Amino acid sequence: MTSPREQQQHTAVVTGASTGIGEATARLLARRGWKVFAVARRADRLEQLAAETGVVPVPADITEDDDVARLLATVTEAGGADTLVNIAGGARGVDQIADAKSEDWDWMYRVNVLGTMKITRAFLPMLRANGEGTVLNLSSTAGLAGYEGGAGYNAAKFAEHGMTQALRLEEVGNNVRVVEVLPGLVQTEEFSLKRLGGDSEAAEKVYAGVEKPLTAEDVADVVAYAVGLPHHVNLDEIVIRPVAQAANHKIVRHQ
């Protein structure tokens, strides 16, 4: 999907760009003519992405204030950006609350909520000054309904969902467009593998029997469409699921 706005030259900062939806989004925007600052912690993967697509690699941890400041300085010196795409995040563990691991909850809140807040706070002056700035937050359907074994991720994504709604209200007077994309089941290279502590067999079972789960490219296509629309058009909240998933807890699996 393409749109008239993408015929212009736009610049996006895309976090989480070393893998999964973030990488797919950086690739797609670059292919459509955007200048893209690709942000993630793994410098080697960013360098490979840059060599293949022409994105500008900026290794950074969005939870670290010094890294965020350095990222902002890099983008400012290069002429600024009109779009911030917050994709960095993730889940750890599937424990129920009775067995919750504090370190997993701490990590999920720090990355999904505080990291998103820190980078958004840093770039808002730039986006306001642009006159037609956009913030897109990739959250999750986990932020809409709780499910067993998901409490920590639910809590983090509910928080990110609420933060995004508040941001839209706070920045409408500054003509900053705020979009939220909330995917359901997406089969990516690392999400479930990391959530399940590197257990590849358990990670494969998450998608077992599901006919055509979403891919990173599916979600990236929607993200790129949303930020590429004329600026006065705001897709406030976009829920994306595979047809086989009617709700977080309702997934059709074929044996």
List residues with catalytic annotation: 153
Q: Are 104 and 93 in contact (CB under 8 A)?
A: yes
Tokens found for residue 198: 């590197």
Among residues 29, 52, 49, 28, which one has the least CA distance to residue 39? 49
Q: Where does 54-199 have alpha helices with state H?
A: 65-77, 102-109, 116-130, 151-171, 191-195
Paired sense of beta strands 214-215 and 11-15, if any: unpaired
Q: Where does the chain have alpha helices with state H?
A: 20-31, 43-53, 65-77, 102-109, 116-130, 151-171, 191-195, 200-207, 216-228
| 172 residue type, one letter | V
Please report where in the chains the tokens 């690739």 appear, as a residue. Answer: 27
CB atoms within 10 A of CB 231: 16
